[in-house]
Every structure is written in C-alpha cells, then in structure tokens.
C-alpha cells in the first residue's frame, strides 16, 4: 500500500532561517501529494498540494515540488517566522480506488526568535 516517510523532529531553527522538511513516498499509480500543518491548539489544516509530477504547490511562503523520479515532496520556506512553529505532516492520496489520505508521522518545527 501507499506510505509516507518524513524526517524526524523536532527541527529547531532561528527566525529568518531557510527551512527544508524532507518527505518521500511509496505509492502505486499517480497519487496526489499534500502538506498539512497543525498549529498549537488547533486542528490539522491543508497547507499545500500537488496533483501531478513536476507540479509545485505553494502557500504562505511555503513550497513543495512533486518529484516523481525521486518520489519526494520536500517542504521549503526561504525565511521562517516564529509563527511557523507547528507540526507538519506529509500525506498522499490513498489510491487503489480508495478516497482520503495516508499521513506521515509528522515533523515538529520550532522557530526561535
């Protein structure tokens, strides 16, 4: 079945640093790929998505490019802020005719002022 592997956390960075959170996947067919974010005390929410190879999803300064050749969907941001501190989840569509998503374990990001 489909699965997602993302880098272990916590990831601690200083404000204005460059961010990369790695995500690789295993899937049959052509899944859509997602990053969801969970801010402290809030529910998970969609950050960005890409539905086919070479697509780039972007939102709030974050970007991720669907790389089929490396089965990756790494999350990047050029200059992080304290308000970006959250848990980030990489996910993919379940595929095989099934709806919904399969999630990675999550990466806790801590931004220090």
Partner 1 sequence: EAGVAQSPRYKIIEKRQSVAFWCNPISGHATLYWYQQILGQGPKLLIQFQNNGVVDDSQLPKDRFSAERLKGVDSTLKIQPAKLEDSAVYLCASSLGPGRNNEKLFFGSGTQLSVL
| Site residues for partner 1 per CB under 8 A | 4, 32, 34, 36, 41-46, 49, 51, 89, 91, 93-94, 98-106
DSSP, collapsed to helix, strand or coil, labels residue 28 as: coil
CB of 4 to partner 1, least distance (A): 7
Of 68 and 105, CB closest to partner 1? 105
CB of 93 to partner 1, least distance (A): 6
CB of 77 to partner 1, least distance (A): 21
Of 41 and 113, CB closest to partner 1? 41
The beta strand positions in 1-113, using DSSP E, are 3-6, 11-14, 19-21, 23-26, 33-38, 45-50, 56-59, 62-65, 75-77, 86-95, 98-103, 107-112
């Amino acid at each position: 079945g489909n699965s997602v592997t993302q880098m272990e956390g916590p990831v601690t960075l200083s404000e204005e640093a460059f961010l990369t959170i790695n995500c690789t996947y295993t899937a049959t067919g052509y899944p859509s790929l997602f990053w969801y974010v969970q801010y402290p005390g809030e529910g998970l929410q969609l950050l960005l998505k890409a539905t086919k190879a070479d697509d780039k999803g972007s939102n709030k300064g974050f970007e991720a490019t669907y790389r089929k050749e490396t089965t990756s969907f790494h999350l990047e941001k050029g200059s992080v802020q304290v308000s970006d501190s959250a848990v980030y989840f990489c996910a993919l569509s379940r595929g095989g005719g099934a709806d919904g998503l399969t999630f990675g374990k999550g990466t806790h990001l801590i931004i220090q002022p």
